[in-house]
Structure 1
Amino acid sequence: MTSMNSPRALGLTSAITAIIADQATKAVVVANADALGSEIAVFPGFNLVFGRNDGVTFGMLGGTPWWGLSLLASSICLWLAIMLYRSDSRIEALAYGAIIGGALGNVIDRVRFGGVTDFLDFYAGQMHWPAFNLADVFVVCGVALLLLASVFERHGNSSRVGQE
């Protein structure tokens, strides 16, 4: 049995939180798509928009069948779930959960709509970053957390080697 303080429980909680936050924000955007029109300026450098991306990051692989990208993402999530299950690190578990939850949030959109709902539009002058969503934020933050964890682990291991 997994205790609530275990890395697995933390990872599962992270994944569920990511899915709920992602799907809740997308539901609000979809419900208000007509009101959004082309965009709503929130503050300089940030708009809310409504768009659907049938590809992956930056629209790459656009036109690929939704089920193909969903199958790929689900396969990656399965591999990450195995990594989460094997991890003894709470930081890694949190990161794996965030990535899994974000990826599954986008899979849900692909199954429901044939593409991912994007609505966060950051820009500088006339240059706009491709619109994205909270699922993407969870994936990027999870990957960043994994990278930071590996750096800290390596730094911790090298300092212990010097003391032996």
Structure 2
Amino acid sequence: MTEPHERSENQLKQPLFWGRFSRFVLLVALAGLVLDQATKLWLVYGFGLADAGPVRLLPVLDIVLVWNRGISYGLFQQHSDLGRWLLAGLTMIVTVGLWIWSTRCQTRLVALCLALIIGGAFGNGIDRMAFGAVVDFVHFHAGSFSWYVFNLADVWIVAGVAGLLYDSFRNGPNSAAK
């Protein structure tokens, strides 16, 4: 068994900003970020979704343009520059925290999940800084039921969180935090 003072010394030896899976996390996060930003930029500027209006792809799926000035599910809508920059700053602070967590993760699954969340968070953070709102465009609906409008960054974030939850239950409590 490791003594508490020895454990602290081992933890101090761990690099703060680069770890075992950091290259993997960086590549996955960048791939997710590029895919997210490419779809948003193409829909807004290339396709002209604002002028084209909603596009029906399937009876239950439309492509629409929604400017989300809040966070997930449109909560905490911000209509001022102060709110916009506070949300952007909070996104960047949380993302740095997730990166530091990723430098200490022990499995490729946790690294993948954190990479997806990081890529998605950066994608939405870039939108908030560039446009003052997040570009959302995927709209599922059936009959009178309408799901919220989202983007690829949101998909990455939800998939990453779901993976972390799966990992925590698969290996017992708190395994994702190791």
Q: Paired residue for 2:111, among 63, 70, 93?
A: 93
1:1-164 equivalence runs, <5 A: 6-31=20-45, 32-37=48-53, 39-63=54-78, 65-154=83-172
Contact 1:36 1:48 in 2 (8 A): no
Runs of at least 5 residues in structure 2 that lack an aligned partner in the other structure: 1-19
**2:32 & 2:146 partners in 1: Cα distance?**
25
1:11 partner amino acid: V
Are the equivalent residues in 2 in contact too, given 1:18–1:135 (CA < 8 A)?
A: yes
Count how many residue pairs are aligned between Structure 1 and Structure 2: 151
The percent of aligned pairs where both chains have the same amino acid is 37
Runs of 4+ in 1 over 2 A off after TM superposition: none
Give the Cα separation in 1 of the matches to 2:50 and 2:127. Answer: 19
* Structure 1 residues without counterparts, runs of 5 or longer: 1-5, 158-164
Q: Does the C-alpha gap of structure 1 residues 115 and 137 become closer, same or farther in structure 2, counting only changes over 3 Å?
A: same
1:162 aligns to what? none
1:59 is displaced (CA, Å) by 1.3
| Cα root mean square deviation, aligned | 1.8
Q: Look up the equivalent residue of 1:115 and give its one-letter code.
A: A
SS in structure 2 opposite 1:15?
helix
Give the whole-Å Cα distance in 2 for the aligned partners of 1:99 and 1:34: 28
| Secondary structure of 1:154 counterpart | coil
Give, as a single letter, the amino acid of the residue that structure 2 aligns with 1:36. Answer: A
